[in-house]
């Protein structure tokens, strides 16, 4: 009953001054929308990156010559490292009893062609037959390469969905021949579509047997990259330590020197990404919060004007028995009704704008609980913080002076 009465009084007071209430509402909407847009966009991008990295699986790690660089000094130090070779792969396979599967891989950009159609700078991956068992991606058509394909250096190729759409739209690609560089390959399978990230397609790749890759392109200048799956998540750290010891011994790294290779997991990449972007994210949210503060100041000014205009009303209410807490609650409720209305509109607009911005780089976002809670907290907090002083001023009025106010 009391809440319903307060709500009716608040709505009536706001409707009595539509223009003023509308302008105040606009300030809150702009503030909450800006914060919501940034939080939703950042959460969406982080979620997309996390989903992409999760393809590695919780028990998988990557070993390569250079994996992470965070400064120019680090780059010049790591560029001196020796490449990882096939001897290292054989030693790890023999010595790492906690490693379930190991797939060496190499990369190259090349032109591919089918008939009179061609694509430039396509990502060519040379990998072993068990790569599909370590990295989580699905086969949409055909099959992935087999052990025999790699052993006998068969010219077979597994293509991404973008290659299929470009060359074989409406056709069955299995058994067709395409040219990768100067060599011909038979298509044996197509990967399930993965979409885009940051405006770049994740489906513009081809995978060929590593033995064929080495024959056509030679040993990669940057060395091999190893994708290794531990026997379980529980022994992941121990498996990484075993690989580390094997590589340090094989590469003759002194006991007091750091590793001359990088070992990373999906979690370590995400942790590094979050730490590098933490200050950036806090700065963006801080800058956008300025508009919330401005909106809050507007709310306080409007409520002060409202208190002054309704001085006689406050005096009448007190003269018929209203206490300080009743007047305080009434004006606080009006401030909250105003800011919460703006907050709800700001949450909706912030999500729509964030979805549009993230959609420009071909990502999708879902309504984030963090962003919604932040939007509601900001709007509620603004009403309480900036509405408390006008409400206290109204509650402390002397009823006699209030009644005599002209």
**What's the pLDDT band for 148 if we cut at 50, 70, 90?**
very high
Residue linked to tokens 């006689």: 312
Residue 158's pLDDT is 95
Q: Assess whether 160 and 222 both reside in one domain.
A: yes
Domain residues for the domain of 88 are: 82-260
Whether 177 has a pLDDT exceeding 90, the answer reads: yes
Residue 109's pLDDT is 87
Work out the average pLDDT over 211-234. 86
Whether 52 has a pLDDT exceeding 60, the answer reads: no
Q: Assess whether 233 and 91 both reside in one domain.
A: yes
Q: CA–CA separation, 141 vs 171, rounded Å?
A: 12
In a domain, 77, yes or no: no
Whether 380 has a pLDDT exceeding 70, the answer reads: yes
Closest CA to 217 of 102, 118, 109: 109
Closest CA to 30 of 293, 261, 209: 293
Given 225, 260, 295, the domain boundary residue is 260
Q: Are strands 225-230 and 99-114 parallel, antiparallel or unpaired?
A: antiparallel
| E-strand stretches of 175-254 | 177-180, 183-191, 196-197, 200-201, 205-209, 225-230
Q: Assess whether 224 and 282 both reside in one domain.
A: no
Q: Assess whether 141 and 253 both reside in one domain.
A: yes
pLDDT > 90: percent of the chain? 16
Residue 61 pairs with which residues in a beta bridge?
A: 228, 265
Q: CA–CA separation, 207 vs 132, rounded Å?
A: 11
Pick the more confident residue, 129 or 270.
129
Q: Assess whether 245 and 176 both reside in one domain.
A: yes
Work out the average pLDDT over 72-83. 83
Pick the more confident residue, 365 or 112.
112
Q: Which of 178-182, 200-204, 218-222, 304-308 has the highest mean pLDDT?
A: 178-182
Query: Under a CB-based contact definition with an 8 Å cutoff, are residues 245 and 99 in contact?
Result: no
Residue 123 pairs with which residues in a beta bridge?
A: 109, 205
Q: Assess whether 189 and 318 both reside in one domain.
A: no
Q: Assess whether 151 and 254 both reside in one domain.
A: yes
Residue 200 pairs with which residues in a beta bridge?
A: 197
In a domain, 63, yes or no: no
Looking at every residue in the chain, the average pLDDT score rounds to 79
Whole-number Cα distances in Å, 239 to 118, 130, 242: 43, 18, 5
In a domain, 224, yes or no: yes
Q: CA–CA separation, 43 vs 167, rounded Å?
A: 36
Residue 198's pLDDT is 54
What is the count of structural domains for the chain? Answer: 2
Residue 196's pLDDT is 64
**What's the pLDDT band for 1 if we cut at 50, 70, 90?**
very low
State which H helix or E strand residue 113 sits in: strand 99-114
The distance in angstroms from the start CA to the end CA of the chain is: 32
Query: What does the block give as tokens for 399?
Result: 């009823």
Query: Under a CB-based contact definition with an 8 Å cutoff, are residues 336 and 383 in contact?
Result: yes
Closest CA to 32 of 336, 291, 287, 284: 291
In a domain, 73, yes or no: no
Whether 50 has a pLDDT exceeding 90, the answer reads: no
Q: CA–CA separation, 25 vs 346, rounded Å?
A: 10
Work out the average pLDDT over 140-168. 91
Pick the more confident residue, 99 or 376.
99
In a domain, 145, yes or no: yes
Give the three-class secondary structure for 25: helix
In a domain, 88, yes or no: yes
Residue 188's pLDDT is 94
As a residue count, the chain comes to 406
In a domain, 205, yes or no: yes
Query: Under a CB-based contact definition with an 8 Å cutoff, are residues 263 and 63 in contact?
Result: yes
Q: Assess whether 41 and 117 both reside in one domain.
A: no
Q: CA–CA separation, 49 vs 42, rounded Å?
A: 11
In a domain, 60, yes or no: no
Q: 126 — phi, psi (to 5°)?
A: -100, 120
Q: CA–CA separation, 348 vs 326, rounded Å?
A: 33
Given 260, 281, 316, the domain boundary residue is 260
Whether 69 has a pLDDT exceeding 80, the answer reads: no
Burial of 221: CB neighbours in 10 Å, binned 0-12, 13-18, 19+: exposed
Given 204, 233, 260, the domain boundary residue is 260
Q: Assess whether 328 and 248 both reside in one domain.
A: no
Q: Assess whether 113 and 219 both reside in one domain.
A: yes
Q: At what angle do helices 266-309 and 311-319 cross, to 10 degrees?
A: 80
Query: Under a CB-based contact definition with an 8 Å cutoff, are residues 245 and 253 in contact?
Result: no
Q: Assess whether 288 and 236 both reside in one domain.
A: no
Burial of 37: CB neighbours in 10 Å, binned 0-12, 13-18, 19+: buried
What's the number of CA atoms in the CB half-sphere (13 Å) around residue 341? Answer: 18
Give the three-class secondary structure for 140: strand
What does DSSP assign to residue 125? E
Q: Assess whether 247 and 101 both reside in one domain.
A: yes
Whether 401 has a pLDDT exceeding 60, the answer reads: yes
Residue 145's pLDDT is 92
Work out the average pLDDT over 182-189. 93
């Amino acid at each position: 009953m009391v809440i319903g009465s307060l709500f009716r009084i608040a709505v009536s007071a706001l409707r009595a001054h539509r223009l003023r209430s509308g302008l105040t509402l606009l300030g809150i909407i702009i503030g909450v929308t800006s914060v919501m847009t940034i939080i939703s966009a950042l959460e969406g991008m982080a979620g997309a990156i996390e989903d992409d990295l999760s393809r590695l699986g919780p028990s998988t790690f990557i070993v390569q010559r250079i994996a992470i660089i965070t400064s120019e000094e680090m780059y010049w130090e790591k560029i001196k490292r020796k490449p990882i070779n096939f001897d290292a792969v054989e030693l790890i396979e023999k010595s790492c009893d906690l490693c379930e599967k190991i797939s060496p891989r190499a990369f190259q950009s090349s032109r591919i062609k089918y008939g009179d159609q061609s694509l430039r700078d396509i990502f060519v991956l040379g990998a072993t037959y068990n790569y599909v068992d370590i990295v989580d991606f699905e086969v949409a058509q055909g099959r992935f390469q087999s052990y025999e394909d790699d052993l006998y250096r068969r010219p077979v190729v597994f293509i991404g969905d973008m290659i299929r759409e470009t060359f074989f739209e409406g056709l069955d690609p299995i058994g067709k021949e395409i040219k990768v560089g100067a060599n011909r390959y038979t298509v044996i399978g197509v990967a399930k579509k993965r979409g885009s990230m940051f405006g770049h397609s994740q489906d513009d790749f081809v995978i060929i047997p590593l033995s064929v890759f080495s024959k056509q392109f030679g040993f990669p200048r940057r060395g091999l990259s190893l994708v290794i799956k531990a026997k379980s998540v529980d022994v992941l750290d121990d498996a990484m330590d075993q690989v580390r010891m094997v590589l340090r011994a094989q590469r003759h790294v002194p006991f007091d020197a750091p590793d001359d290779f990088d070992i990373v997991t999906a979690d370590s990449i995400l942790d590094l990404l979050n730490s590098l972007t933490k200050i950036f994210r806090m700065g963006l949210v801080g800058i956008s919060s300025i508009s919330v503060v401005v909106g809050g100041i507007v709310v306080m000014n409007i409520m002060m004007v409202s208190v002054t205009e309704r001085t006689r009303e406050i005096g009448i209410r007190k003269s018929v028995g209203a206490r300080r807490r009743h007047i305080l609650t009434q004006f606080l409720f009006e401030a909250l009704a105003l800011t919460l209305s703006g907050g709800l509109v700001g949450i909706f607009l912030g999500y729509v704008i964030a979805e549009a911005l993230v959609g420009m780089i071909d990502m999708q976002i879902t309504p984030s609980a963090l962003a919604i809670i932040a939007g509601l907290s900001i709007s509620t907090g603004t009403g309480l913080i900036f509405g408390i002083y006008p409400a206290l001023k109204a509650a402390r009025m002397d009823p006699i002076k209030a009644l005599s106010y002209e």
